[in-house]
Chains A and B, each alone.
Chain A
């Protein structure tokens, strides 16, 4: 057998081995890469979703704050209206008119 033939044979063998290894790599790792790529995509979608949820929750907190502000304002308005009523002439006159009744009531209770 000629030396060159031997070299060709070993080269062929090496090429075949490289091919086999490439195939092994392709089958094994590319599926892993695909899996990982899909996982990354899923995680990205999950991240997007969780960001939306956090924004949504912040919006709901905003709703509660707005409702609270509205109620506080209403309470303030009612307190003012109450104060105005107590300071009004009608209320004072009414109190004065009913004073004997109140005194009488207190006396009856005491006895």
Chain B
């Protein structure tokens, strides 16, 4: 079994935490490890005594006491330099390892010798020893990692990868580990995630610091993505890629022209949607295609859409089929990006379209969706999840704007987004055969999202723009038996697990 080097840089550790940490490493079920601890100067005599005693009891502990003060990251770098193992795990001494942590890590590296970096799930052990805040992490998501260091602990690197990327960059201080993880993921051949809680911290890892923005900008420069990085109002960062060229967008709105009461006012949904779109969209290059239900040559419901050269109305005189209506609309449009939009939405953010088009500039992203809110401002959809069955993530919850670490505030990959508002690359839409007409009312978006994921592209959900979606106001939301059967026939293997949202909202 190859050697795993655990590395730690010590600065004023709490003696009880350190004792617990030592105990957790010593009691690992895997035996092929060493622990390189570099204690920064000055080290308290009691800490020194504890470390020396531990090293005397177990020769796998290699301890070095620095003669000068350099801080945590200088100490950690020295520990990295001292590590002789094939794999290097970074351990904060305020934390503990699960007794099987290193054996699980070794097993993954053993199974696939191309894995260069891996991370595990983690939780927090509070002062009473109770495990809380279990953090079940997604499979590797480079878009989420751009603004959210979710990989964090426990992180294990192949030593050859560390040699390639260089060690810790101390200038980034509190964001140095984030920087290291980003550089590692850029170069790693294979990145693996162990979906087990193998790391027990004693506090939430700080999500950002003064150097975080620079770390993100450096990462974007290295991967060659031109994007704007900005700090969000309530914490956290946003990354919005620059839109390459003057991309034409075709917004496709299928409608029956129905009216409903919205915020106490009887409203023709499609009129409201188009009026808000024309009034509140700062993106310039777009057209709107309205697919409007007719019966025997007469509109099913009268509508009065504002006169605008960008708006084109197409009659649809056939039995209801949402997918077919969307496909017809897309076929009649000529934008490079297609936005499927329900008639029961209302646009408030002027940047909604530019944000959605921007999300499609991330590498390999074929579809993007925004935060959708119900009439009362609770969440209607923050993307799709397949866990336990296909449903809207966060539906009915409050958006938690103040909590920067909430999933509702992080741009990330998801299993799907609702077709109530979805931006899709036209070439992708065409290649995948559009929305399947086998799903006339429900699950057409779930099916399309799965087709897209199978095709090898990603789907991004972003909280950077929000739309109101007066869900189920425009049609009966119940799925037919045929649709359920079709969905099971095609995608039942994806149900019950979600690689992007492993835990409920």
The residues of A with any CB-CB pair to B shorter than 8 Å are 41, 44-45, 48-56, 58-60, 62-63, 66-67
Chain A residue numbers with a CB within 8 Å of B455 are 55
Chain A residue numbers with a CB within 8 Å of B447 are 56
Would you list the 8 A-B pairs with minimal beta carbon distance, nearest first?
A52-B433, A51-B433, A66-B493, A59-B490, A52-B436, A48-B434, A55-B451, A48-B433
Distance in angstroms between the alpha carbons of A63 and B493 in the assembled complex:
6
Distance in angstroms between the alpha carbons of A55 and B436 in the assembled complex:
10
In contact, A48 and B430 (Cβ under 8 angstroms): yes
A45, A50, A55, A66: the one within 8 Å of B331 (CB) = A45
- Indicate if B489 sits at the interface (CB-CB under 8 A): yes
In contact, A49 and B433 (Cβ under 8 angstroms): yes
20 new A-B contacts at CB < 8 Å, known A51-B432, A59-B450: A41-B331, A48-B327, A48-B331, A48-B430, A51-B430, A52-B436, A52-B438, A53-B433, A54-B433, A55-B432, A55-B433, A55-B454, A55-B455, A56-B436, A56-B438, A59-B454, A60-B489, A62-B454, A63-B491, A63-B493
Chain A residue numbers with a CB within 8 Å of B432 are 51-52, 55
Distance in angstroms between the alpha carbons of A102 and B382 in the assembled complex:
67
Distance in angstroms between the alpha carbons of A63 and B491 in the assembled complex:
7
Which of the listed residues A55, A60, A62, A66 has the most CB atoms from chain B within 10 Å of its own CB?
Answer: A55
Task: Provide 24 A-B residue pairs closer than 8 Å at the C-beta atoms, listed in order of the A residue.
Answer: A45-B327, A45-B328, A45-B331, A48-B433, A50-B433, A51-B432, A52-B432, A52-B434, A52-B435, A52-B437, A52-B451, A53-B433, A54-B433, A55-B451, A55-B455, A56-B490, A59-B450, A59-B454, A59-B490, A60-B489, A62-B493, A63-B490, A63-B492, A63-B493
Q: In this complex, what residue of A is CB-closest to B430?
A: A48
A45, A53, A55, A63: the one within 8 Å of B489 (CB) = A63
Chain B residue numbers with a CB within 8 Å of A58 are 454
B114 to chain A, nearest CB (A): 22
| Interface of B: prevailing SS | helix
A44 to chain B, nearest CB (A): 6
In chain B between 327 and 367, which residues have their CB closer than 8 angstroms to a CB of chain A?
327-328, 331
A59-B433 contact in complex given A45-B331, A48-B327, C-beta closer than 8 Å? no
In chain B between 413 and 436, which residues have their CB closer than 8 angstroms to a CB of chain A?
430-436
B2-33 vs A, Cβ < 8 Å mask (1 yes, 0 no): 00000000000000000000000000000000
Chain A residue numbers with a CB within 8 Å of B492 are 63
B446-463 vs A, Cβ < 8 Å mask (1 yes, 0 no): 010011001100000000
Which of the listed residues B433, B454, B455, B489 has the most CB atoms from chain A within 10 Å of its own CB?
Answer: B433
Chain B residue numbers with a CB within 8 Å of A56 are 436, 438, 447, 490
In chain B between 280 and 320, which residues have their CB closer than 8 angstroms to a CB of chain A?
none
Chain A residue numbers with a CB within 8 Å of B435 are 52
Q: In this complex, what residue of B is CB-closest to A65?
A: B493
A45, A50, A54, A59: the one within 8 Å of B491 (CB) = A59
Distance in angstroms between the alpha carbons of A67 and B437 in the assembled complex:
26
A60-B436 contact in complex given A44-B331, A48-B430, A51-B431, C-beta closer than 8 Å? no
Chain A residue numbers with a CB within 8 Å of B454 are 55, 58-59, 62
